[in-house]
Chain A
Amino acid sequence: MPDHMDGKSRSTSVLAQTLGSGRRSPSVCESRTQTREWLGFRADAEGAKRQNRNTSASSTSLRNLALALETLSADRRALLVGSASLATATLLLPSASRATGTAFVSEVAPGVFVHQGVHALFAPDNKGNISNAGFVVGNDSVAVIDTGGSVIVGQQLHDAIRSLTDRPVRYVINTHMHPDHIFGNAAFKTENTVFAAHHKMARGLAARAGRYLERNKDLLGEEAFRGIEIVMPNQGVEALTKLDLGGRILELSPQKTAHTDNDLTVRDVATDTVFLGDLLFSGHVPTIDGSIRGWIAVMDQLASQPAARVVPGHGPASLDWPSGADPLRHYLTTLATDIRALIKSGKTISDAMAGAGQSEKNAWQLFDDYNARNASAAFAELEWE
């Protein structure tokens, strides 16, 4: 959706979705009408008027996008086409390291690129480069999946894309609301960029936006914070949604509450690569900002779905699946087991913060920075069992 569009109308439609008042926004692939709704079109008179107010350029781009999405709803056929043309697409791409020189990204599968952040807290010296970000290149366009923790990182990612292809970055997908995954969004803002996220991300981010900016300005320092703004999603994903990058399909799957209440996974169908966002940590201790029980359940469910490889939100550029999630699942179940035992024996949340999960201490980086908070969150949840 073009960013010059009236801000109020946009937020109203986000509100209508997230609050459930008014029409629910259905899966993009259910029908032609619904596809149009997902894109922000509205069938009522007010919507039509608003649409007419848009400039021809943005209307055209939205219409093209609508056509692209409608075309791909016959998924099987689209997938076949996608696989065939992918080979051609990949041949046109020089290898990442050769093109960028700096190896800012690595190509984990044909046309799938990942930048690996460091395991650290936000600090001036890492410039917000503390999480993984990536992109997938199709015949017509590029989709970015997370943008790093600063505009500096976002711009480096953008530069890496430009060194590989001239195709436009049409989609920026955020796997969840946390600052280290969205603060680079501003580097991709154009009037045509679709910022897609779990339909609950807008609400979660709106509630936290002020704090995110204030806190992280202090942590990052002036230089790394420069240009950072909260770029809200303009498309909320409420059910399995497919994006066509031109002969290449991405499947966006909103998950139930786990790491946060707005985790979204992204599967590149052609290479069977799944971006898990912060549903998967490797090396960096997991952080719970949603539900420990929900997270364990989501990981159980995802582990039953095979994938050629997955991309964690923190950790190596890619991991085997489902074995790559073993340490994370072990951490979560250990923490839950410890806390349930403490609750059963009448212990307090402070006891849990001091003792729960300590057997995992040597298995993770940043353990002391996050484990007590995880224990606190998990205790507050599990005491209701």
Chain B
Amino acid sequence: MTSSLKTVFLALAAAVLAAPAPFAGEIKDVWPDLHRDVFQSRALLEDGGIVMEAPDRAEDAALTPITLRVPSEHAANAKKVTLVIDHNPSPVAFEVTFGPAAGTGDRIISTRVRVDSYTDIHAVMETNDGKLHMTKKFVKAAGGCSAPALKDPDAILAEIGKMKITATAGDGSTTGALPEGQLMIKHPQYSGLQTNQATGYWIPFKYITNMEVKRGSDVVFTLAGGISISEDPNIRFTYAPGNPSDMIEVTATDTDNRTMKGASVSKGS
């Protein structure tokens, strides 16, 4: 993560936490502030340059599936994609920067995020010439027993950093679709916000800050992430077909400077 982005992640966390909690009926629109802080209030095109799939209601607020797609007509010029969950404590969920092996068909990034309350989610795609394309969706967080905390912390900590990476060669020759990979990392993604004054119990933050995904020696994408990515991060992504011998290789770093590496079992092409 660049230091400036890190500052944004942390500064926004503080700013939004200080604001009163929104209720279902009256949700403060924090987007103007986020637009200014994250995107310097630059013009946003709502022209289909970025497409987002998210549920209307987050069944499990700790594990909400989000799919971002850059349509093929925009893909060649796409530089990066940023996901902003407006009302999360740290609104910038992640920033994905495409590399030379990202491919020129429909580019898809799919993952699971934490949604802390009723909120707009904004996805912004930046092109190589500096234009911003935006789409948004309102997501209702489910009530009840859903929790941002871990179901079984011991089980996850015991296996921290374990990776499972799969790559499907795809049949791009016939459908034009890019091959698809899946990256799974065992990681608790502690937010650092899971504290309790009454008991004095709190959990220091521990989350993945950076990932680099390569096909062979070429970068598919790098990701700078924050606490909004769900525990045991799971990312599905497309990539450009390469040499038959290429593997999908992943390096991830967390806030403890733990470096985690993994590679696909099957070939990445």
Residues of A within 8 A of B (CB): 7-8, 11-12, 14-15, 121-122, 178-179, 200, 202-204, 206-212, 214-215, 218-219, 230, 232, 257, 260-261, 287, 289-291, 294, 346, 348-350, 353, 369, 372-373, 376-377, 380, 383-384
Instruction: Report B-chain residues with C-beta under 8 Å of the C-beta of A209.
Output: 196, 198-199
Q: Are B151 and A260 interface neighbours, CB within 8 A?
A: yes
Task: Give the total number of A-B pairs whose CB atoms are below 8 A apart.
Answer: 113
Q: Which 5 A-B pairs have the closest CB atoms?
A: A207-B149, A206-B201, A372-B59, A206-B196, A373-B59
Instruction: Report A-chain residues with C-beta under 8 Å of the C-beta of B236.
Output: 348
Residues of B within 8 A of A (CB): 21, 23-24, 53, 55, 59-60, 63, 65, 67, 110, 112, 142-155, 164, 168, 184, 186, 194, 196, 198-201, 203, 230, 232, 234, 236
Q: Which of A122, A207, A372, A380 contacts B144 (CB 8 A)?
A: A122
Report B21 CB to chain A, min CB distance, Å. 7
The docked-state distance in angstroms from the alpha carbon of A179 to that of B145 is: 8
The docked-state distance in angstroms from the alpha carbon of A349 to that of B194 is: 26
Q: Which of A218, A232, A290 contacts B143 (CB 8 A)?
A: A218
Q: Please classify the interface of chain B as helix (H, G, I), strand (E, B), loop, or mixed, using the class held by over half of its residues.
A: loop
The docked-state distance in angstroms from the alpha carbon of A261 to that of B151 is: 7
Instruction: Report B-chain residues with C-beta under 8 Å of the C-beta of A15.
Output: 200-201
Instruction: Report B-chain residues with C-beta under 8 Å of the C-beta of A384.
Output: 164, 184, 186, 232
Q: Are B155 and A257 interface neighbours, CB within 8 A?
A: yes
Q: Please classify the interface of chain A as helix (H, G, I), strand (E, B), loop, or mixed, using the class held by over half of its residues.
A: helix
Instruction: Report A-chain residues with C-beta under 8 Å of the C-beta of B164.
Output: 383-384
Report B182 CB to chain A, min CB distance, Å. 9
The docked-state distance in angstroms from the alpha carbon of A294 to that of B151 is: 12
Q: Are B201 and A203 interface neighbours, CB within 8 A?
A: yes
Report B36 CB to chain A, min CB distance, Å. 29
| 13 contacts across the A-B interface (CB closer than 8 A) | A206-B196, A207-B147, A209-B198, A211-B147, A218-B24, A261-B151, A290-B152, A346-B168, A349-B63, A350-B53, A373-B59, A373-B142, A383-B234
Q: Which of A204, A212, A348 contacts B110 (CB 8 A)?
A: A348
Report B121 CB to chain A, min CB distance, Å. 15
Q: Are A207 and B154 interface neighbours, CB within 8 A?
A: no
The docked-state distance in angstroms from the alpha carbon of A350 to that of B147 is: 19
The docked-state distance in angstroms from the alpha carbon of A122 to that of B146 is: 13
Q: Are B63 and A380 interface neighbours, CB within 8 A?
A: yes
Known: A257-B152, A373-B146, A380-B112. 17 other contacts (CB 8 A): A11-B200, A11-B201, A121-B143, A121-B144, A200-B154, A203-B201, A207-B196, A209-B196, A211-B147, A215-B144, A287-B145, A348-B110, A353-B65, A376-B59, A376-B63, A380-B230, A384-B184
